[in-house]
Structure 1
């Protein structure tokens, strides 16, 4: 009996290793699908928002409190992306084969789910408030006027926080964003790479947009903080577009039957 059991275990071992490798490859592919969905949706709705801003007089409300409805649309779209992505991609695959890492669903597999979500929401809200203050302080240190332009600087800080911190908190959690802020790069995590690129290109776009403010062109769109906000939104869109360009060919190659044939 002992010899039979050992022989069965030996025979099952190669199959088990093969199945683990298959599940790992499937998880990588599904992670790419999730990122392709997130970035693809952003590449559709964000250019629409910018087109509405640039072809209407609403562009000049970027630095005013009347810009909050646009920020609200961005918040709703980011939350909608997370809900659709986790419901139709992540949870479906967890039910079918358990391939996804639980980090893609914040607090889904933990006990006391409601308490964990409340704790995560409070932590994310506190982080967002802190980062708004940090962005405001950095803008002042770079030359923004504290008293005469405080409304404009505050709205720019809110916009930057919505484009950089909020998506990371929604999709990966506050702890992940804190680690990114302190310089810890995501390893072998394509969704973390997307969030990191969003932060980098959004801030780079805001910094690059500041170069046109001191130029003596006397254009209305040169007023603070319109160029910086425009650059931030363009950088955010560019980051998602780059991820689509990077991920979609890989998915196409994986799903192409001819690419999977061995060349002898």
Structure 2
């Protein structure tokens, strides 16, 4: 969970820039290797692992750069063990369990919603659960990692923070869910394509929505920052 010693705007910019760089290439790799066709299968788990590792790396960088408890200087070298030890100290078992329970519950909610929208309960239950896990990893996991389980409950209750980083995480949810929803439109079309099978279009749409949200958030951040800079300049003239 992020502390108050960082700048939300700078953290948000770093998060969006890195995500906007690697996500399109990752999706392109899925296309070129036809790995996107594995959506809904156990073979798709490496995609989840990649997303989780990417989020962990972004979290680690933000903590290392903005957290007061770690002082890093290039002249001192890369103190890997001290960094690992620091993150191990930050892990609280109870909070970790709460996060896991909340994410599991959210995945079950997505599963039920998918069924209500037409996903088969018995014949495609494994595919639907894998899709639910993908949505959870793309939306709830970043909130859980960067801001904690309390923020997840606030998001679910419609309570939104005003800082830049919270807005970025909110855009993640909005665009990811929108992308998954738009992906469902091609499933009933009679094009007879292999990629029209549930949940391939929705999974791909969710990934594309996540990628678009990073670009949108980045533009939004720069627009707000430039607007504030203009106001400050005009104020001190």
TM-score after normalising by structure 2:
0.83
TM-score after normalising by structure 1:
0.75
* Alpha-carbon separation, structure 2, partners of 1:193 and 1:180: 11
1:84 to 50, 55, 61: 61
Residues 30-56 of structure 1 show CA distances to partners (whole Å, capped at 9, x for unaligned) of: 321110000111111111210011112
Residues 205-250 of structure 1 show CA distances to partners (whole Å, capped at 9, x for unaligned) of: 1111101100001111111101111111111111111111122355
Aligned position for 1:75 = 52
How many residue pairs get aligned? The number is 218
* Alpha-carbon separation, structure 1, partners of 2:216 and 2:34: 30
Change (3 A) 1:260 1:94: farther
Q: Which residues in structure 2 correspond to 1:88-99 (within 5 Å)?
A: 88-91=65-68
1:35/1:194 contact within 8 Å kept: yes
Look at both structures and tell me which one has the larger radius of gyration over its CA atoms: 1
Aligned position for 1:34 = 11
Q: Which moved more, 1:245-254 or 1:188-197?
A: 245-254
Aligned position for 1:148 = 123
2:99/2:148 contact within 8 Å kept: yes
* Alpha-carbon separation, structure 1, partners of 2:195 and 2:227: 44
Residues 102-148 of structure 1 show CA distances to partners (whole Å, capped at 9, x for unaligned) of: xxxxxxxxxxx958722221111111111111111111111111111
1:33/1:251 contact within 8 Å kept: no
* Alpha-carbon separation, structure 2, partners of 1:196 and 1:214: 30
Residue 247, structure 1, aligned to residue 221, structure 2: yes
What SS class does the counterpart of residue 172 from structure 2 fall into? helix
* Alpha-carbon separation, structure 1, partners of 2:90 and 2:212: 36
Change (3 A) 1:255 1:183: closer
Residue 211, structure 1, aligned to residue 185, structure 2: yes
Aligned position for 1:126 = 101
2:36/2:204 contact within 8 Å kept: no
Structure 1 residue runs without a partner (length 5+): 1-26, 96-112
Q: Which moved more, 1:190-199 or 1:155-164?
A: 190-199
2:37 to 56, 60, 76: 60
